[in-house]
């Protein structure tokens, strides 16, 4: 079976093109930034998990020049593309084995990737470990459980030609389940919003 990392390796060369980036450029990244901006401070150290080619980090670094940005992704080739940006440190790593020390970040983000993680509890546990006390965890996820059927049908059709495979994604967590995993790992929910079939969550480590 071809792994998710290998699938993203295959599309890494074209991932930054408009056809892939359209939805990120106009919807996912602006919504994410709008949702977290009032909790970001200039001197924060921020980690983007499953950062892909690092586009979100690049965008926020343009707005906050003193942010220290780090990104991890388990696709070597996506990270290869990301590394063209030399102001940000990118590493190949799994979401449930974050290669950073305890209490080292002020902010952790996971954008459009959480549903891929095979061990979601371990991933959140790792976020909690690397975050400082009162640090923030932002999770963006498409609300696939409430997508209309015609959209699911179209995604399935397109996904045959692209990298996305609904069957690959190890279950879509419901809000209740995510809140439970977050609570177990010492997070409290600060804010949550459903917008345009996107779910945005902000948790704080307590």
Residues lying near ligand SAM in the complex (CB under 6 A) are found at 4-5, 8, 24, 50-52, 55-56, 73-75, 78, 94-95, 111-113, 116-117
Residue 120: CB atoms within 10 Å: 19
> Nearer to ligand SAM by C-beta: 151 or 206?
151
Cα–Cα distance measured from residue 56 to residue 112, given in angstroms and rounded to the nearest whole number: 11
CB of 150 to ligand SAM, least distance (A): 21
Q: Is 40 left (phi over 0), alpha (psi -120 to 50) or beta?
A: beta
CB of 24 to ligand SAM, least distance (A): 5
> Nearer to ligand SAM by C-beta: 188 or 193?
193
> Nearer to ligand SAM by C-beta: 27 or 175?
27
Q: Which residue has the tokens 């459009």?
A: 112
> Nearer to ligand SAM by C-beta: 5 or 175?
5
Gyration radius of the chain's alpha carbons: 16
CB of 206 to ligand SAM, least distance (A): 25
Cα–Cα distance measured from residue 49 to residue 103, given in angstroms and rounded to the nearest whole number: 16
CA atoms within 13 A on the CB side of 122: 9
CB of 130 to ligand SAM, least distance (A): 14
CB of 50 to ligand SAM, least distance (A): 3
Evaluate the CA torsion angle 30, 32, 34, 36 in order and state its sign: negative
> Nearer to ligand SAM by C-beta: 55 or 202?
55
> Residue 106: which of 163, 36, 183, 41 has the closest Cα?
41
């Amino acid at each position: 079976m071809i792994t998710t990392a290998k699938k993203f390796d295959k599309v890494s060369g074209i991932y930054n093109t408009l056809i892939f980036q359209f939805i990120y450029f106009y919807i996912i990244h602006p919504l994410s930034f709008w949702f977290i901006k009032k909790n970001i401070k200039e001197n924060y150290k921020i980690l983007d998990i499953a950062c892909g080619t690092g586009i979100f980090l690049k965008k926020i670094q343009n707005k906050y020049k003193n942010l220290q940005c780090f990104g991890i992704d388990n696709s070597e080739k996506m990270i290869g593309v990301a590394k063209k940006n030399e102001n940000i440190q990118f590493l190949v790593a799994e979401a449930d084995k974050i290669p950073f020390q305890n209490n080292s970040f002020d902010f952790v983000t996971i954008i459009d990737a959480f549903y891929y993680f095979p061990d979601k509890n371990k991933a959140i546990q790792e976020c909690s470990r690397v975050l400082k006390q009162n640090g923030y965890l932002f999770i963006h996820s498409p609300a696939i459980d409430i997508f209309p059927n015609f959209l699911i049908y179209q995604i399935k059709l397109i996904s045959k030609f692209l990298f996305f495979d609904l069957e690959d994604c190890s279950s879509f967590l419901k809000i209740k389940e995510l809140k439970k995993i977050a609570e177990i790992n010492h997070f409290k929910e600060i804010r949550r919003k459903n917008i345009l079939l996107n779910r945005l969550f902000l948790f704080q480590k307590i």
